[in-house]
Amino acid sequence: MFIEFEKWHGCKNDFVVTWVSDSDGDMLLDALRLHVINIFTRDGSGIGADGILALRVGRKTDLTPKELVIINQDGSIAANCGNGLRCATLSVISQHKLRGNPSEIPEFVDLQVGSRIFTCRLLPASSHSKNPIVAVEMERPRVDEDNPWYKDAHAFVKKTLEPENKKQKPDEVHFCSVGNNHAVISCENPDAETAMLWAPKLQSYSAWDGINVHLIGPSESPSPELARYAQMLGEPISEMFRAIPFERGVGLTQACGSGAVAIAAVQFASGMSERGSWLAIRMPGGPLFTKQDTVDGPVTLAGEAILSFRGSLEI
């Protein structure tokens, strides 16, 4: 069986995107989940990606997907993926340009993941950004005590991590749910080595079926880098944070969109950052931008998304 695919990435958080019609049914999705190792491997024998985005349509000619299925590297189905939503949005817009009427390109793209619908859109082009910037309205975040398992989970994480690394210890631990669960851990020097030491030990806790873990560093003062990001976005940015993401079912990644949302939500809920202003979250693969206008509102996630190549694959 051959499938046509596109390779997209958002801040180097990369995905294989394919369109699945009802005639292909669950058979193709099952085949994709069975062949994840061959698809994801980066040793030259596979495409190499952090996830698969399957856009389901009724007929092969349809340009509007009725569902987005997100497959992790271990074959599990992800509950949410901010960068995946943004890349899938550009795939939909791209298909309208290639196969539809360019004058009817949608202003907004609604993508259903499970029972939730996410609205995505292109932000106005900035002369300082080489690539399209896509924004998605993520769901209202639940921070710390809003999650029923918070107190026990907080005690578990602190007990598990504090003895692990004599070089540094977690300063603060917060939790956020945005469809999927996130642990946001502040420390003096967030790095990949510490993330690989801490994050795997948190995956088997009974309160969750794995969890995304993000190490974040101190807020950075305004700098030429922050000014450059503001030029990319075309709007002022109040603060910048640096983060190392570890994703459930994947491992270390170059960026995590829902993780950036979780980091921002923790900052807003704690009063450390002001709502209504954009925050920049600098991850290894590049910057993501987040904003929440009201305490009960969704968090907007924005950033660049890029098409790497198209191809076909036998599975």
Alpha carbon distance 303, 315 (integer Å):
32
pLDDT in tens, the chain (315 residues): 788 999 999 999 999 999 999 988 788 888 889 888 888 888 878 899 999 999 999 999 999 999 999 999 889 999 899 999 999 999 999 999 888 777 778 889 999 999 999 999 999 877 677 889 999 999 899 999 999 999 999 999 988 987 665 677 889 999 999 989 999 999 988 999 999 999 999 998 998 989 999 999 976 666 788 888 999 898 999 999 999 999 998 999 999 999 999 999 999 998 888 899 999 999 999 999 999 999 999 999 999 999 999 999 887
Angle at 253 between CA 249 and CA 256, to 5 degrees: 90
Alpha carbon distance 12, 141 (integer Å):
24
For tokens 């925050």, the residue is 279
Which domains are seen in the chain, by residue range?
2-138+305-314 (3.10.310.10), 142-296 (3.10.310.10)
Name the DSSP letter for residue 191. -
Residue among 22, 56, 21, 52 nearest 39 (CA): 52
